[in-house]
Amino acid sequence: MEDEYIPRPEGELPRHVAIIMDGNGRWATRRNLPRIAGHKAGEAAITDVVRAASEWGIEALTLFAFSTENWNRPENEVQFLMSFNRNLLEQRVEEFHRRNIRIRHLGRRDRIPPSTLKAIDDATNLTRNNTGMQLNIAFNYGGRAEIVDAVRRVCAEAREGRLDPRDLDEETFRKYLYLPDMPDPDLLIRTAGEMRISNFLLWELAYTEIYCTEVLWPDFRRRHLAEAIREYQRRERKFGRVKEE
Ligand code: IPE
Ligand code: IPE
Ligand code: MG
């Protein structure tokens, strides 16, 4: 199917958009289909949103594809998600590379099957020097795990005498997160009506604008992304300060 043409939203775009892609299971259940059919249908949403975001000039897009808690799903669904994400990456990486998109992974590497890890690493390596949009794939990602992993590295450096804990501040701590050079997300989108963070980017979302929509992920398209951006542009970001006159 052709991508719908939606012009780049006018005005200042969020530099970094993060998305909790939710509602695949409900999309399928409503159609009397197995949950897996919902994940498959979500692929069209992923490609449309990635294309639009990079065409519009958004600097970074972070997609939550599999959480550290998603291991608690039925084994067949977990297995499906491992191979589905591997296939999706393998099939799309050439196109994303042509679009000058740089792909990166955030999350723990343990437990991910080797073939899925290879697809992630191949995509990362192929697109390493691209200068267009940065596409971050949160896979086996948990916000608490990210903070714990950072603290472990901080402790190791302190033990080896390379870091004085008294020098640790928010800026230094950030360097130990999975993607230290990423600006914090400006806009977080969550689909399917849920209003929770579900352990996504706990550190990075401190001052992010949150946008929730009832649209289920498989139905989400660039026009919904444009709507989220327009809503974001109407917000007033205060960062704890008083209203700017
Ligand atoms: C999001 O859709 C995909 C993943 C979490 C991997 P869900 O599978 O969570 O869909 P619902 O929430 O059950 O509808
Ligand atoms: C969050 O969605 C994780 C991903 C989108 C990958 P979930 O569907 O797992 O979150 P909960 O369980 O509803 O909080
Ligand atoms: Mg869900």
| Per-residue pLDDT tens over the stretch 90-105 | 999 999 999 999 999 9
| Residue ranges covered by each domain of the chain | 16-143+187-234
Please give the distance, rounded to the nearest whole angstrom, from the Cα atom of residue 103 to the centre of ligand 1.
Answer: 23
| 70 is known as an active-site residue | yes
Ligand 1 atom, smallest distance to 66 CA: 6
Q: What is the pLDDT of residues 172-207, one digit of tens each?
A: 999 999 999 999 999 999 999 999 999 999 999 999
Q: Is the CB of 47 under 6 A from ligand 1?
A: no
Residue 3: its pLDDT value, please? 84
CATH superfamily of 16-143+187-234: Decaprenyl diphosphate synthase-like (3.40.1180.10)
Ligand 2 atom, smallest distance to 66 CA: 6
1 has a pLDDT exceeding 80? no
Contact status, residue 224 vs residue 215, Cβ threshold 8 Å = yes
Give the neighbor-by-neighbor strand order of the sheet with 134-141: 102-106, 134-141, 60-67, 16-20, 187-190, 209-212
Cα 108 from Cα 78, distance rounded (Å): 16
Contact status, residue 212 vs residue 20, Cβ threshold 8 Å = no
Q: Is the CB of 31 under 6 A from ligand 2?
A: no
DSSP secondary structure letter of residue 119: H
- What's the pTM value of the predicted model, to 2 decimals? 0.98
Q: Is the CB of 189 under 6 A from ligand 1?
A: no
Instruction: Return all residues near 184 (Cβ < 8 A) that are at least 6 apart.
Output: 16, 204, 205, 206, 207, 208
Cα 126 from Cα 164, distance rounded (Å): 37
| 149 is known as an active-site residue | no
